[in-house]
């Protein structure tokens, strides 16, 4: 059952609630005269997209990042109010983070998952999404609480990601049963970790999954600004996040962008994106780069979806299908079945009746 949660400072709650009510009124009024933003969207999806856009815009306009985070957390909606998942903080002396363990699961896999938020936010809504993902995938997830920008620019995030990966290996988790993933900036971190593993002498995981990943911290593709009218994340925000990430370093955009890294001998990569999100062009470019390198890659794009549409879980057919495909990909990559997982390098999914099928992702 979906649930809306209010918390924190009263002034933040009131402004967020007014934003939600105003967004709802605007969307419903526009739909009454036959003018939905996207005809294929439900009213709930349109309201959610525009509400979170306005929340991010206001949060990033605040002068203090702590206040920005508090404001963004003041109102959020979850589609599963009480996931059947136990949340356990990591022990003292271990990398900071939380285990999200589905009750009654029998999976031999582990998912190391990096949250999104432009490297600047780790909202309560992200924690709920990870819990929901653990429940729907029926796989235990370790989600590191990596350091955030602008307080901690690069290389804090990749250092924390590598430390978490090393910790799981040291704890006895077989890299052939380990999947690395993330959404948005977390997808960026998962992909950068994959590229950095050879330099530190660590084995590749079984698979990397990246949901709406940020694959270039500079400017790339028409969608980065051309899809602003549809997406909850805006093009200018990616440039701000990128500036915070490389602040005080000598790194170029290319140095810190997955699109410019080497993946020839990396684990298979499974990418998912929405056709109306601002990052879709750079995600397509990244998939093309991996193809050119001879890496194993699959990209699925849902044409009418936006950034991180997966957060709608079982309440949205596209989200449910995307998560089902994640499960199939993980089963295929770890030898637990799912040999029918399709290997198309770039697939537009516009028929929700079509499940995973086709040949396995080819060996290289």
Contact call for residues 127 and 219 (beta carbons, < 8 A): no
**pLDDT tens-digit series, residues 150-181:** 999 999 999 999 999 999 999 999 999 999 99
Tens of pLDDT, residue by residue over 60-101, are 999 999 999 999 999 999 988 889 999 999 999 999 999 999
Enter the pTM of the model: 0.94
DSSP H stretches of helix in 7-102 = 10-32, 43-61, 65-72
| Torsion angle of the four alpha carbons 158, 161, 166, 171, in this order, in degrees rounded to the nearest 10 | 170
Contact yes or no for 65/247 (Cβ under 8 A): no
Residue 65: CB atoms within 10 A of its CB come to 17
Residues of the chain with CATH 3.40.50.1820: 80-348
CA distance 289 to 304: 24
| Record: fold of 80-348 | Rossmann fold (3.40.50)
pLDDT of 341: 60
Could you write out the three-class secondary structure of 146-215? Answer: CCCCCCCCCCHHHHHHHHHHHHHHHCCCCHHHEEEEEECHHHHHHHHHHHHCHHHCCCCCCEEEEECCCC
The answer to whether 342 and 298 have CB atoms below 8 angstroms apart is yes
Phi, psi (rounded to 5 degrees) for 45: -70, -40
Read off the pLDDT of residues 226-247 as tens digits, 9 standing for 90 and up.
999 999 999 999 999 999 999 9
Query: CB-side exposure of 44: number of CA atoms within 13 Å?
Result: 9
Q: Is the pLDDT of residue 269 over 50?
A: yes
Paired residues of 27 in beta bridges: none
What band does 1 get if pLDDT is binned at 50, 70 and 90? low
Furthest-apart CA pair in the chain: how many Å? 60
Cα–Cα nearest to 19, from 64, 66, 69, 77: 77
């Amino acid at each position: 059952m979906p649930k809306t949660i209010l918390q924190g400072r009263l002034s933040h709650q009131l402004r967020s609630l007014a934003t939600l009510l105003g967004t709802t009124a605007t969307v419903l009024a526009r739909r009454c005269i036959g003018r939905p933003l996207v005809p294929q969207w439900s009213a709930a999806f349109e309201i959610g997209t525009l509400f979170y856009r306005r929340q991010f815009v206001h949060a990033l306009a605040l002068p203090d990042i702590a206040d920005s985070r508090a404001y963004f957390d003041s109102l959020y909606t979850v589609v599963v109010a009480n996931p059947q998942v136990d949340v356990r903080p990591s022990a003292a002396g271990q990398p900071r983070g939380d285990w999200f363990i589905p009750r009654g699961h029998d999976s031999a896999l582990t998912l190391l998952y990096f949250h999104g938020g432009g490297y600047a936010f780790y909202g309560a809504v992200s924690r709920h999404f990870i819990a929901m993902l653990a429940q729907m995938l029926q796989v235990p997830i370790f989600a590191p609480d990596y350091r955030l920008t602008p307080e901690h620019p690069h290389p804090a995030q990749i250092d924390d990601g590598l430390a978490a990966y090393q910790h799981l290996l040291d704890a006895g988790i077989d890299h052939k049963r380990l999947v690395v993933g993330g959404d948005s900036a977390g997808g960026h971190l998962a992909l950068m970790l994959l590229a950095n593993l050879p330099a530190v002498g660590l084995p590749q995981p079984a698979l990397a999954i990246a949901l709406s990943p940020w694959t270039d911290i500079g400017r790339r593709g028409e969608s980065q600004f051309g899809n602003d009218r549809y997406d909850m994340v805006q093009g200018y925000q990616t440039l701000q996040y990128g500036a915070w990430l490389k602040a005080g370093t000598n790194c170029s955009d290319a140095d810190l962008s997955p699109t410019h890294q080497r993946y020839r001998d990396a684990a298979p990569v499974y990418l998912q994106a929405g056709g109306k999100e601002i990052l879709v062009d750079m995600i397509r470019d990244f998939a093309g780069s991996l193809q050119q390198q001879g890496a194993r890659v699959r990209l699925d794009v849902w044409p009418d979806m936006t950034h991180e549409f997966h957060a709608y879980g079982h309440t949205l057919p596209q989200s449910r299908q995307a998560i089902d495909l994640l499960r199939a990909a993980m089963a295929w990559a770890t030898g637990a079945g799912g040999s029918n997982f399709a290997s198309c390098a770039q697939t537009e999914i516009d028929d929700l009746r079509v499940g995973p099928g086709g040949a396995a992702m080819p060996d290289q």
